[in-house]
Amino acid sequence: MNRRPNSNNRSRNQGRPQPRNLRADAATVIIAVIDQGQSMGQALPKAQAGYADGRDKGLLAEICYGVMRQLPQLDTQLRRQLSQPLNGKKRILHGLLLAGLYQLKHTRVPAHAVVAESVNACLALRAPGMKGLINGVLRNMERELDTLIDEQFEAEPVKTLHPGWLLKRLQAAYPQQWQEIVDANNAQPPLWLRNNRSVQTREQAIARLDEAGVDARPMGDGDAILLDTPCDVTALPGFMDGDLSVQDLSAQMSAHLIQSQPGDRVLDVCAAPGGKTCHMLEHQPQISEMVAVDLEAKRLERVQQNLDRIGLQATLHCGDASHPYQWWDKQQFDRILLDAPCSATGVIRRNPDSKWLRRDADIAKLAEVQSDILQAIWPLLKPGGTLVYATCSVLPEENAEQIKAFLQQTPDAMLSPIHQQDVSERPGLQLLPQADGGDGFYYARLSKADS
């Protein structure tokens, strides 16, 4: 005999948390970025918080970041499949189809699984009536996949996967190298580790990785280790004890360039998330005091977490770098690292959403902020001291031109060359992103004249 469902059971079932749908969450993140202007750093962690399995978190990140890298091409191909745009309440389904098309073209997820999971996502997105559309569009694109892959795109933003304004700036600044920069920006970023030299040699670290079955190689003369295959770094031997950290090859130069000495008082300006703060302490354990400043309290929490994991100490201040007298104790510093806020055009491969969130007009505004901070922080440096100015940008307005103007305006500031071509006409060291190397980064080292 059939029994009618018990209303109490129905109520209990309704109160249970529903299982997450990864494709629905990917669609939500994608639309949050392209329509609402959220960064991936804001939207993705919220979605990942619903998953305990690291593999699910990794797949969610791969889909979202992949869509951002390939956005113009995916969007162009998808729109050609739709008889009318998906707008309004249906807009989330555009994100779902972008996620599905990316998986079909660029991942090893079986096509039947992509289609089935995307169709199921309609329930999680409260659009059950759109199952047929999602199924039909994705199956059609699956059948035409070879054509979609081979299709030639003529419009530059679609062809290069870069917005027009940025492409023009790269072509103007690097007429011979812009295509290499674009190619590196569109590639998957390598995974770099930083060895903690205060507890082990780099050779010892690589030997430990090898014993754990992780293929790794030393790069350069410093602390950098390149992993052949990305992995869950928390499972690496010694990572949770602070023996290893994640940090790009180019970013690791800061601790070497600042040349801290025993007894130095060091300031890290715009310090979050704290990788450079920790590296300077590892590089020179006899620093008398490390002070790290950042504008946002939440980002300072990341600095403290990194310090705690490695077992390091620093004085943290939440404050505006352009108004140091609000937090400075009037004791000058021997060394200052100013990792200035910038366009992040050197780390696009790690933050592909920035290509679509950033605007051309932002560059002049950022350059003004950088100038204000540099002028405000300079008095905090002792006579004879060293300041290293750094950005993860490849744009001259934020880098060499910024430092050239500062040197002209500041009589007691002198260029301390990093390399032979580092001269006052084009000061500093500009690193461009390399497909198998470091990110795009800029460094300039300045010294203050003795009074």
Q: Binding site for S-adenosyl-L-methionine, residues?
A: 270-276, 294, 320, 339
Q: What are the boundaries of each domain within the chain?
A: 18-151, 191-246, 253-448
Identify the pLDDT of residue 5.
Answer: 44
Q: Report DSSP letters for 404-416, one per residue.
A: HHHHHH-TTEEE-
Distance separating alpha carbons of residues 250 and 418, to the nearest angstrom? 14
Catalytic site positions = 392
425-447 tens-digit pLDDT? 889 999 999 988 999 999 999 99
Checking if the pLDDT of 15 tops 50, the result is no
3-state secondary structure of 218: strand
3-state secondary structure of 225: strand
- Topology (CATH) of 18-151: N-utilizing Substance Protein B Homolog; Chain A (1.10.940)
Element (H, E) at 47: helix 40-48
Checking if the pLDDT of 364 tops 90, the result is yes
Checking if the pLDDT of 155 tops 80, the result is no
Q: Binding site, residues?
A: 270-276, 294, 320, 339
Distance separating alpha carbons of residues 448 and 93, to the nearest angstrom? 57
Distances (CA, A) of 332 to 193, 325, 379, 381: 32, 12, 8, 5
Per-residue confidence band for 158, with pLDDT thresholds at 50, 70 and 90: confident
180-239 tens-digit pLDDT? 999 999 999 999 999 999 999 999 999 999 999 999 999 988 999 999 998 889 999 999
Checking if the pLDDT of 102 tops 90, the result is yes
Query: Architecture of 253-448 per CATH?
Result: 3-Layer(aba) Sandwich (3.40)
Mean pLDDT score of the chain, rounded to an integer? 92
Phi, psi at 337, each rounded to 5°: -105, 120
pTM: 0.91
Dihedral, 258, 259, 263, 265 alpha carbons, nearest 10 = -10
Identify the pLDDT of residue 128.
Answer: 95
CA nearest neighbour of 384 among 330, 451, 445, 429:
451
Across 343-372, average pLDDT: 97
404-422 tens-digit pLDDT? 999 999 999 999 999 888 8
Identify the pLDDT of residue 147.
Answer: 77
The HSE-up count of residue 396 (CA atoms within 13 Å, CB side) is 12
232-258 tens-digit pLDDT? 899 999 999 999 999 999 999 999 999
Identify the pLDDT of residue 150.
Answer: 63
Take residue 432 and report the two structure tokens written for it.
Answer: 């461009």
Identify the pLDDT of residue 18.
Answer: 52
For the domain spanning 191-246, the CATH number is: 3.30.70.1170
Checking if the pLDDT of 1 tops 70, the result is no
303-326 tens-digit pLDDT? 999 999 999 999 999 999 999 999
Identify the pLDDT of residue 189.
Answer: 93
Identify the pLDDT of residue 350.
Answer: 96
Does the CA dihedral 116-118-124-130 come out positive or negative?
negative
